[in-house]
A and B are shown apart, each in its own frame.
Chain A
Amino acid sequence: DIQMTQSPSSLSASVGDRVTITCRASQSISNYLNWYQQKPGKAPKLLIYAASILQSGVPSRFSGSGSGTDFTLTISSLQPEDFASYYCQQTYGTPPYTFGQGTKLEIK
């Protein structure tokens, strides 16, 4: 199985901050990488797919980059509604299509 490692596992930041979350794959996955946001008690929501394509309706302060094994999710200016957990997911090759362990973004 391809292992996905996110860092950091948790992060404290303030409204208006620029935040970056990283996701590293145990082998090259090209750009088969998605990012999701999950708020407590809710289902995850798709933010970015194919490493860098913004899902329709998602604010432009979210962006994704990377290819191969290293990927980043950046929030350019944190808003109060962005405090949540974030997960990366790889969909390369044969299943399972594993998720990272998550990054919890908290208010400082």
Chain B
Amino acid sequence: QVQLQESGPGLVKPSETLSLTCTVSGSSVRNGNYYWSWIRQPPGKGLEWIGVVSYSGSTNYNPSLKSRVTISLDTSKNQFSLKLSSVTATDTAVYYCARVRVGPSAPIDDWGQGTLVAVSS
């Protein structure tokens, strides 16, 4: 049974960098059957796809965030991480890490519980 757990600060100041880590258990981030993704959801709103990292470390990002986002893999710790720079209040959201299954329509088949990150001074 795979488990994903987000960790990181719940409060970030404007203009600073948001940093989150997802610890994966029950599945290896080096497993070629999966990619690893971040999705966010502002309070009371819908889901926004942030980006994805493959088992080899290659990445794809949402163009609307691309200049500020970095997603990386740490295979030694079976983790992947998100960095979002120059944050503003509009980056306040619940951030989910998730596992994407390689194959037909690449669905997100497992999600972390989510962590609320507020951007405020």
Out of A34, A96, A101, which one reaches B107, CB within 8 Å?
A34
The residues of B with any CB-CB pair to A shorter than 8 Å are: 46-49, 51-52, 60-64, 96, 98, 101, 104-109, 111-114
Q: Chain A's interface: helix, strand, loop or mixed, by majority? A: loop
Q: For the complex formed, measure the closest distance between the CB of A45 and the CB atoms of chain B, giving whole angstroms.
A: 8
Q: How many chain-A residues does the 8 Å CB contact rule pick out?
A: 28
Report how far A43 CA is from B108 CA in the complex, Å.
11
Out of B46, B104, B112, which one reaches A49, CB within 8 Å?
B104
Interface pair B60/A91, CB less than 8 Å apart: no
Q: Verify if A59 is at the interface (C-beta below 8 Å from B).
A: no
Interface pair B63/A91, CB less than 8 Å apart: no
Interface pair B47/A91, CB less than 8 Å apart: no
Given the interface pairs A43-B96, A98-B49, A100-B46, the reply to whether A53 lies near B108 with Cβ below 8 Å is: no
The residues of A with any CB-CB pair to B shorter than 8 Å are: 1, 31-34, 36, 42-46, 49-51, 53, 55, 87, 89, 91, 94-102
Interface pair A43/B113, CB less than 8 Å apart: yes
Interface pair A55/B109, CB less than 8 Å apart: yes
